[in-house]
Structure 1
Amino acid sequence: MNAFTYEEQELMSIYDPGTREGLIANLEEMRGYLEPDEDELRELTDSALEKLRGISDAEYEQLELMPDFED
């Protein structure tokens, strides 16, 4: 499994509905609203999507996608 970066995990925790397919759908939808100058967020989203598509639902279930609001 490709390891997700801290930034990818934080992004995924915001859009995670509880299923891998749902998370992919939410990230794809959010990506459609990005402005042309939001290259960094687009790249982060694309990287997370690529990794999510490459893992199984069982591997997704092992991810701890809890937002860290203490930072």
Structure 2
Amino acid sequence: MNNVPFTIEEENLICIYHKHDRRRTIAAISDALPDMDADMRPLAEQTIHKLHNITDAAFEETQFTMTLSDAE
């Protein structure tokens, strides 16, 4: 079970870069860091940190859902 709470923004980022497993998802987000603007980089770094702190099993069990804002 995943005891690390992800924010909506973090879950959305995970959904964008989601790969087959936790390590590949971390790598995908990490690879995109140089192309992210200064506002997105801290969110990505925090998301990577949280992903490092969960197990592979917890990652696989977690249902990550893209949440769109009301404006979209």
Counterpart of 1:67 in structure 2 is: 66
- Asked if structure 1 preserves the Cα contact closer than 8 Å seen for 2:8 and 2:67, the reply is no
- The aligned amino acid for 1:4 is F
Counterpart of 1:12 in structure 2 is: 14
Counterpart of 2:39 in structure 1 is: 40
> Displacement, 1:69?
5.7
Deviations 1:20-61 (A, max 9, x none): 001000000011222xxx222101101100000011001101
CA–CA distance in 1 between the matches of 2:69 and 2:39? 23
Counterpart of 1:53 in structure 2 is: 52
> Displacement, 1:62?
1.7
Unaligned runs of 5+ in 1: none
Unaligned runs of 5+ in 2: none
Root-mean-square deviation (Å): 1.6
Report % sequence identity.
Answer: 28
CA–CA distance in 2 between the matches of 1:50 and 1:29? 14
TM-score, normalised to structure 1, is: 0.83
Q: Does residue 1:26 correspond to 2:39, yes or no?
A: no
TM-score, normalised to structure 2, is: 0.82
- Give aligned pairs, total: 68
